Amino acid sequence: MLRSRRQRVQTFQKTVPVSVGRAIGSAIGVGLTAQVANGVLSEQPDLFGKALLLTALPGTQGIYGFLIGFLVIMKLGLIGTPTGVPFYKVITVGQGWQMFASCLPVAFAGLLSAIHQGRACAAGVEMTAKQPDQAGKALVLAVFVEFYAVLGLLASILLIYRSW
C-alpha cells in the first residue's frame, strides 16, 4: 500500500508519459501544419488568419493531456484540495496502475489524432491557398479528427473518476 507522499509521487510518475505522449503528438501535428502554412504565407500573407486557425487546431490534444494530468494530480492528492481522495487515504499499487490505465485512452487517441489532424490541417492550408473561400470546409474536415481525441478525453475522465 502507498502511504507516503513520496509513494504517491512515484505512482503519478506512471502517468507522466501519458501527458508527454500527447504533447509529442501535438508538436508533430502543429509542426506539420506550420511548415505548409509558412510556405503558403510567403506567397499569400493575407491568408494568415485562416492558416493560423488550422495550425493551432492540432495543439488541442496537448491541452487535453494537460487536463488529464492535472485531474490525476488532484485525484492522487498531490496539490490543493483533492477531489474524492483525502490526504490520509491509502493508495495501493493496483490503484496506481488503475490510474495509469485510466490515462491510456487520452494518450493513444491524442498522440495519433494530433499527428493525423496535423496532416489534415496541412492539406487544408494548401486547399485554402488555392481557394481561400473554402477554408471553412478545410476546418470542418480537420474537426472530424478532433472528435476522436475528445472521445479519448471523455473515456479517461470517466475512468479516472470511476477508479477507487
Phi, psi of 2 (to 5 degrees): -95, 115
The domains of the chain, with CATH numbers, are: 5-162 (1.20.120.610)
For 56-74, what is the mean pLDDT?
91
Model pTM score: 0.80
Q: How confident is the model at residue 35 (pLDDT cuts 50, 70, 90)?
A: very high
For 75-100, what is the mean pLDDT?
71
Q: Give residue-wise pLDDT tens across range 98-149.
A: 989 999 999 999 999 999 999 999 999 999 999 999 999 999 999 999 999 9
The pLDDT score that the predictor gives to residue 63 is 93
